[in-house]
Chain A
């Protein structure tokens, strides 16, 4: 341990961030793999089924189902990638990469540990917004380059939906911005310091609800998955994709889910802050217990727990609700969510002005 620490300190600064980036990417990809398994298990339990329970890791007993993600990956890797004859070859190959890159690049500014993000950018929130809005290009290009009607319909739906919900999402984040007084994600987390009730979700509850709904819509997840809509337009924008190219879209969707869950945790649930922060003082007796004390304090484990719980909500939504109709999605985005955010921003302005709640100090 000591040896590792000295080795770590001897590395130049750019190697530190490179190693963290590589580590985080591997963790994310593994999380995506197991999120797909967890989704099938979780929805299986909701629907009184068992879910995947056959593929074992190296045939070890008791690991039934745990090998499923790897079996899926190997299956997709050895499948042929069919490129439609009349498609736009370059864009067809480029689209999955464009869909995937923003989902990973956004993690650069997410505060993953107390006081640490890979890039501590001042305009972090804007960076997040701009990168998440780039992700839609992957979907649009995939739909257009496939030269297929179903794919194109899916792409058009997705573009309209993204533009609509981006606005609601941006407005919801204006409220977070007003609370934090900073665009820096690390400062947005530290500003929420206190107990679970001093996190942003409490005072910005309508904005939190809007952000959560817009987040589900942005990731094209059920009940907002009209871009895929398998019962209407086959598989939407990725209908022509097969093998690993399809797997990249799959990876992008799940990486985006994890990202949105992380961002919700950061913006509204205090990121890596412990929910017991306000109740257990740092010098109280229980915090001095070696392992338990550290677990009860702030740390990455709280962020991971919040992300996990939020992902379960995503899956729960998918298992519960039928798909929205396209015009109802548009109505919800433009006529319900955006007005709600504008009203609550005005209310929040009043609260700041009259020094109510967290702004009283």
Chain B
């Protein structure tokens, strides 16, 4: 009962935050609503005892991805009028996507009522069950190669992103930090011993 009350409360917040993402006029407010979305989804995942996924969602999306997102959105000077102008032109695409998502959700619910429940519901797990451990076992035994391939792909993407943005412009003034760090006091300061002189 308490779980259901919590579920509906957080689901309501999630929907409200989702609306906030698309309805608010200020892009920074949208990004912050998205942060709230991630938080409430994490809470919903906690309710079905998927604590590892919930915490990782907060760690990765709230802690890293959205910080960079906010970083970019705050720096941009977005002209909202210009963005709005394409609304009717792309409305069919949005409607199509929404329709497919709704179809999928309804499909899952209908399938559940027909008795072919692929999700198996959320049965209460035994007390000693750690889904961190279970995930780790699955990822590093059965799915060891897929996860390594995914890691390599991400590494390639990182290197590609760096290679794309690293331009060597002529005449660029760059500090050689290694040289700066390697500097010793003796290179810069010369201490001169002088005899004291009488004031003129």
Complex alpha-carbon distance, A140 and B130, angstroms: 35
Q: Is A136 an interface position by the 8 A CB rule?
A: yes
**Would you list which residues of chain A between 158 and 197 have a CB under 8 Å from chain B?**
159-160, 162-163, 166, 183
Interface size on B, residues (CB 8 A): 24
Task: Select B70's contact among A131, A133, A140, beta carbons within 8 Å.
Answer: A140
Contact partner, B181, options A123, A134, A160, A328, Cβ 8 Å: A328
Which residue of A has the minimal Cβ distance to B60? A130
Q: 1/0 contact trace for B127-145 toward A, CB 8 Å? A: 0001010000000000000
**B residues near A129, Cβ cutoff 8 Å:** 59, 63
Please give, as numbers and ranges, the residues of chain A lying within 8 Å of B52 by CB-CB distance: 123, 126
Shortest distance from the beta carbon of A183 to any chain B beta carbon, whole Å: 6
Q: Is the CB of A159 within 8 A of B71?
A: yes
- In this assembly, does A283 line the interface, its C-beta being within 8 Å of a C-beta of chain B? no
Q: Is the interface of A mostly helix, strand, loop or mixed?
A: helix
The answer to the question of A327 belonging to the interface, with a C-beta cut-off of 8 Å to chain B, is: yes
- CB–CB B51/A163 < 8 A: no
The total number of A-B Cβ pairs within 8 Å is 69
Partner among A88, A137, A327 whose Cβ is within 8 Å of the Cβ of B35: A137
* C-alpha spacing A159/B63, complex, angstroms: 11
Cα distance A121–B49 in the bound complex, in angstroms: 12
Interface flags, B39-82, vs A, CB<8A=1, else 0: 00000000000011001101100111001101100110000000
Cα of A246 to Cα of B94 in the assembled complex, Å: 44
CA distance A88 to B32 in the complex (A): 13
B119 at interface by CB-CB < 8 Å: no
A328 cross-chain contacts in B, Cβ below 8 A: 177, 180-181
Q: Is A70 an interface residue (CB 8 A)?
A: no
Contact of A126 among B35, B56, B130, B181 (CB under 8 A): B56
Contact present for B58 and A130 (CB under 8 Å): yes
A114 to chain B, nearest CB (A): 21
Assess A133 versus B177: contact at CB under 8 Å? Given A123-B52, A159-B67: no
Residues of B within 8 Å of A137, CB to CB, are 35, 67, 70
Task: List residues of chain B with CB within 8 A of the CB of A127.
Answer: 55
Q: How far is the CB of A259 from chain B (nearest CB, A)?
A: 16
Query: Smallest Cβ distance from B136 to chain A, in angstroms?
Result: 10
Contact A134 B62 (CB under 8 A): yes
- Measured in the bound complex, the distance between the Cα atoms of B180 and A144 in whole Å is 33
Chain A residues within an 8 Å CB radius of B67:
133, 136-137, 140, 159, 162-163
| Secondary structure call for the B interface | helix
Counting contact residues on chain A (CB < 8 A from B), the size range is 20 to 34
Whole-angstrom CA separation of A91 from B51 in the bound complex: 29
Query: Which B residues touch A140, using CB under 8 A?
Result: 67, 70-71, 74
Which residues of the other chain, B, contact A133 by a CB distance below 8 angstroms? 59, 62-64, 67
Please, how many angstroms separate the alpha-carbon atoms of A159 and B66 in the complex? 11
Please tell me if the beta carbons of A122 and B51 are within 8 angstroms of each other in the complex: yes
In this assembly, does A156 line the interface, its C-beta being within 8 Å of a C-beta of chain B?
yes
Known: A126-B59, A156-B71. A166 touches B51 (CB 8 A): no
Q: Are A134 and B58 in contact (CB under 8 A)?
A: yes
Q: A224 to B72: give the CA distance in the assembly, Å.
A: 23
CB of B175 closer than 8 Å to a CB of A:
yes
Report Cα–Cα, A141/B66, bound state, in Å.
12
Would you call B28 an interface residue if the criterion is a C-beta within 8 Å of the partner chain's C-beta atoms? Answer: yes
Q: Is the CB–CB distance between A183 and B63 below 8 Å?
A: no
State whether A163 touches B130 (Cβ < 8 A).
no
Q: Assuming A126-B59, A328-B177, what are 13 further A-B pairs, CB within 8 angstroms?
A: A121-B51, A126-B52, A127-B55, A130-B56, A133-B59, A134-B62, A136-B67, A156-B71, A156-B74, A156-B75, A163-B68, A166-B64, A328-B180
30 A-B pairs (CB sep. < 8 Å):
A88-B28, A91-B28, A91-B32, A122-B51, A122-B130, A123-B52, A126-B132, A129-B63, A130-B55, A130-B62, A130-B63, A131-B58, A133-B59, A133-B67, A134-B58, A134-B63, A137-B35, A137-B67, A137-B70, A140-B67, A144-B28, A152-B74, A155-B74, A156-B71, A156-B75, A159-B67, A159-B70, A160-B71, A163-B64, A183-B132
